[in-house]
Amino acid sequence: MDIRTLAVADLPACSDLAESRSWPREPPKWTLLHETGTVFGIDAPDGHGLAASCVLVPFDGVASISMVLVAPRYERRGLGRAITAHAIAAAGDRIVWLHASKYGLPLYESMGFVADGGCQGHAGTFADDGGPAASPGSPSDVFPLDLAAQGVDRRPFLERLGKPFVVDGGFAFGTDIGHVTVIGPVVAETEEQARALIRGVARSAPGAVRVDPDFRFPGLIGWVRERGLVPTAPAPRLVLGGRSLPGDWTLRFAPFTRAVG
In this prediction, residue 140 carries a pLDDT of 86
Contact 235, 85 (CB under 8 A): no
CA distance 150 to 147: 5
Pair 173, 201: CB distance under 8 Å: yes
What is the DSSP track for 172-229? Answer: EEEEE-SSSEEEEEEE-SSHHHHHHHHHHHHHH-SS-EEE--BTT-HHHHHHHHHTTP
Q: What pLDDT was estimated at residue 215?
A: 97
Cis, peptide link before residue 206, omega less than 30° from 0: no
Sign of CA dihedral 187, 191, 192, 194: positive
- Bridge-based pairing of strands 62-70 and 38-43 is unpaired
How much is the pLDDT for 1?
A: 75
CATH numbers and ranges of domains, the chain = 3-93 (3.40.630.30), 121-254 (3.40.630.90)
Residue 134 dihedral angles phi and psi, to the nearest 5°: -70, 160
Q: What is the pLDDT of residue 238?
A: 98
Question: pLDDT tens digits for 33-57?
Answer: 999 999 999 999 999 999 999 999 9
Find, among 118, 125, 143, 132, the residue nearest to 197 by Cα. 132
3-state secondary structure labels for all residues of 120-185: EEEEECCCCCCCCCCEECCHHHHHHHHHHHHCCCCHHHHCCCCCEEEECCEEEEEEECCCCEEEEE
CA distances from 168 to 156, 172, 185 (A): 23, 12, 16
Q: Are 148 and 236 in contact (CB under 8 A)?
A: no
2/177 Cα distance (integer angstroms): 29
Give the residues of the chain that fall short of pLDDT 50: none
Provide the pLDDT for residue 31. Answer: 97
Q: Do residues 3 and 86 make contact, with C-beta atoms less than 8 angstroms apart?
A: yes
Of residues 149, 188, 147, the one with CA closest to residue 168: 188
Whether the CB-CB separation of 197 and 61 falls below 8 Å is answered with no
| pLDDT at residue number 43 | 98
